[in-house]
Chains A and B, each alone.
Chain A
């Protein structure tokens, strides 16, 4: 009986507040828009039953999504931004993780703390910090003008460049930590063995260090890529009107256009889009766990 209660409490909570809401999204995505509160006409009614529901079932919101280029472009541009920014985060994060793993042992705990600290700091504030740096009269432009690299301030804020910078900045710890974990376990004698067998430093890095930190790299990339796809705060604060990201589109569809059925359809498609990377990520984690035991 006690075991039943132990299982039931979290189970029921998640059913009621995770699965049921999701079913509602699915249902509303199949409904029609109406000027009312709530702004859709329910298509599925327990009274008329499943027969009536299936009869009137249509995918017009999804057809609408496929016909309007805005959505296609938003999905594609989200994918593109996520791919590019994941790659950039990897380029920035790998050397940091590598240097951390090579640092003297007594420093490592402190370095770890320094990487984790921003993660505990408000996400919103960390994005906001860049607004003052990237604006036309911001610190970056002031600095570049001062050293004389440019003569006119650059427009960075409200462009995709600012979005990339914001993503790399806020998601960097997610990239560093798994790579660091992989590199820290790397036995130094493997690198020495590679050098002993004729590798230069660089080939040893390429043939031994990189392959052996592969799992960390993959985990880090997924940890950045998956949340960036649905990102809202960064494109909304740092991006411009031409920055198309699906999270922002969904938000606007919901709060500005108040078109709930389309917003729901956007959410369903977004989730379908994420299933592939999520499944791949799970598989990678599982493989790593098996390798560890």
Chain B
């Protein structure tokens, strides 16, 4: 029964306008016919056509997706292991160092992470390319995965695992049959986070990529440094559309699950 005061209405309106108007302008002007991105010259989808012809962008996009899929998958496996070790692992040698190494990359400036990895790759003589970007991305995104998964594990009812052991599971079976299905949503959101971080990353990729492999953010950055271009607007629009569809779908699925669960619970109470 809360009524919105005028102050709250104004804050929300202005706040969300501030968050969304810049992106909206970007999207609108991706359909501009003219070369100038600030003057409207009629509707056209020609920039999307040109983008599809641009080999360099398409190649970079392909590299970026490859890197993101591989690095986020490895990061999810390692990050989940790390989370499990941190929450359930008990004491072991160097535990403090381990948890420090999990949290440090979250607050480490990207320029430092990028620089240090580059120096390592040069030091051991590893040629910079897709592999080095994957290694770099896996390293920082596994930390994000581990934070997401461990916060879920902390609220996890331990007696469920104990029940599984009591009913004859081995520790590995208990993890696979009980723990994993329950923490699965957190693991999936960890993977999505790692995937997005990898897609998004410019700084670390710039340090760790070589001439053989250029990612989309690097390509966009070098194009954008020269100024605003309608082709980049078109590319941005595609990326914004994908993210928006993804986030909305995810929240709808979530909501449907919640509604179904509530309905089931009500049905159970009634019968």
Residues of A at under 8 Å CB distance from B? 2-3, 6-7, 9-11, 13-15, 17-22, 24-25, 28, 38, 92, 95-96, 98-100, 102-105, 109, 111, 113-118, 120-126, 128-133, 135, 137-139, 142, 169, 172, 226-227, 229-233, 236-237, 247, 250-251, 254-255, 260, 263-264, 267, 270-271, 274, 278, 281-282
Contacts known (A25-B119, A103-B8); A169 close to B18, Cβ less than 8 A: yes
| Known A124-B220, A267-B112, A270-B112: A92·B15 in contact at CB below 8 Å | yes
Q: Which residues of the other chain, B, contact A123 by a CB distance below 8 angstroms? A: 200, 202
Q: Mark B244-271, 1 if CB is under 8 A from A, else 0.
A: 1011100100010000000000000000
Judge whether A6 and B29 touch: CB under 8 Å: no
CB of A236, distance to nearest CB on chain B (Å): 8
Q: Please tell me if the beta carbons of B120 and A24 are within 8 angstroms of each other in the complex.
A: yes
**Bound state CA distance, A113 and B243, in angstroms?**
12
B135, B224, B246 pick with most chain A CB within 10 angstroms: B224
In the complex, are the beta carbons of B116 and A22 less than 8 A apart? yes
Decide if B212 is an interface residue (CB 8 Å cutoff).
Answer: no
Contact across chains for B11 and A122 when beta carbons are under 8 A apart: no
Q: How far is the CB of A32 from chain B (nearest CB, A)?
A: 15
Given contacts A7-B92, A95-B15, A96-B15, contact A15 B228 (CB under 8 A): no
| Nearest B-chain residue to A255, judged by Cβ | B206
Do B199 and A122 touch across chains, with their CB atoms under 8 A apart? yes
A135 and B11 contact, CB distance less than 8 A? no
Which of B42-50, B160-168, B178-186, B232-240 is the interface stretch? B232-240
Using A99-B9, A267-B116 as known contacts, say yes or no to A6 and B81 having CB atoms under 8 A apart. yes
A270 touches B109 (CB 8 A): yes
Q: Which of B117-160 contact A (CB under 8 A)?
A: 117, 119-120, 122-123, 135-136, 138-139, 142, 146
Q: Which of A13, A121, A236, A278 contacts B107 (CB 8 A)?
A: A278
B120→A232 contact, CB < 8 A: no
Determine the residue in chain B with the shortest Cβ distance to A132. Answer: B228
CB-based A-B contact count at 8 angstroms: 226
Residues of B near A104 (CB, < 8 A) are 2, 4
Contact of B38 among A19, A142, A232, A271 (CB under 8 A): A142
Interface residues of B (CB under 8 A from A): 2, 4-5, 7-9, 11-12, 15-16, 18-20, 22-23, 25-26, 29, 37-39, 78-79, 81-82, 84-85, 89, 92, 94, 98, 101-105, 107-112, 115-117, 119-120, 122-123, 135-136, 138-139, 142, 146, 171-172, 196, 199-200, 202-203, 206-207, 217, 220-221, 224-225, 227-228, 232-233, 236, 239-240, 243-244, 246-248, 251, 255
In this complex, the member of A15, A22, A227 whose beta carbon has the largest number of chain B beta carbons within 10 angstroms is A22
CA distance A133 to B21 in the complex (A): 10
Nearest CB in chain B: distance from A152 CB, A: 17
Closest beta carbon of chain A to B256's beta carbon, Å = 13
A139 and B32 CA atoms in complex are apart in Å by: 14
Enumerate chain A residues within 8 angstroms of B112, measured Cβ to Cβ: 25, 230, 250, 267, 270-271
B117 to chain A, nearest CB (A): 5
Interface centre among A6, A104, A115 (most CB of B within 10 A): A6
- 8 Å CB contact of A122 from B138, B207, B236: B236
Known contacts A13-B139, A14-B98, A131-B227; A115/B111 CB under 8 A: no
Q: Evaluate contact between A135 and B142: CB separation under 8 angstroms.
A: no
Which among B11, B104, B232 has the greatest number of chain A C-beta atoms within 10 A?
A: B11
A-B contact pairs, 19 of them (CB 8 A): A10-B81, A11-B98, A17-B135, A18-B139, A19-B101, A109-B251, A114-B19, A114-B20, A121-B243, A123-B200, A124-B220, A125-B220, A129-B26, A129-B236, A227-B109, A230-B109, A236-B225, A260-B119, A271-B109
Flag if A99 contacts B8 (CB, 8 Å): yes
Q: Is the CB of B19 within 8 A of A172?
A: yes
Query: Closest residue to A20 on the B side, CB-wise?
Result: B120
Measured between beta carbons, the chain B residues less than 8 angstroms from A282 are 103
Question: Which residues in A have their C-beta under 8 angstroms from that of B220?
Answer: 124-125, 128
Known contacts A6-B89, A10-B85, A117-B247, A128 near B228 by CB under 8 Å: yes
Task: Please measure, in the bound complex, the distance between the C-alpha atom of A75 and the C-alpha atom of B222, giving whole angstroms.
Answer: 26
CB-based contact B120/A247 at 8 Å: no
Check A232 against B111 for contact (C-beta < 8 Å).
Answer: yes
- Contact, CB under 8 Å: B239 / A122: yes
Minimum CB distance partner of A249 in chain B: B111
Residues from chain A with a CB closer than 8 A to the CB of B228 are 128, 131-132, 135
Tell me whether B94 and A11 are in contact (CB under 8 A): yes
When distances are taken between beta carbons in the complex, the residues of chain A under 8 Å from B221 are 124, 233, 237
**Nearest-neighbor residue (CB-CB) of A250 within chain B:** B111
Partner of A125, one of B78, B139, B172, B236: B236
B2: chain A residues at CB < 8 Å are 102-105
> Which B residues are in CB contact (< 8 Å) with A7?
85, 89, 92, 98
Hey, which chain B residues are within 8 Å of A95, CB to CB?
7, 11, 15
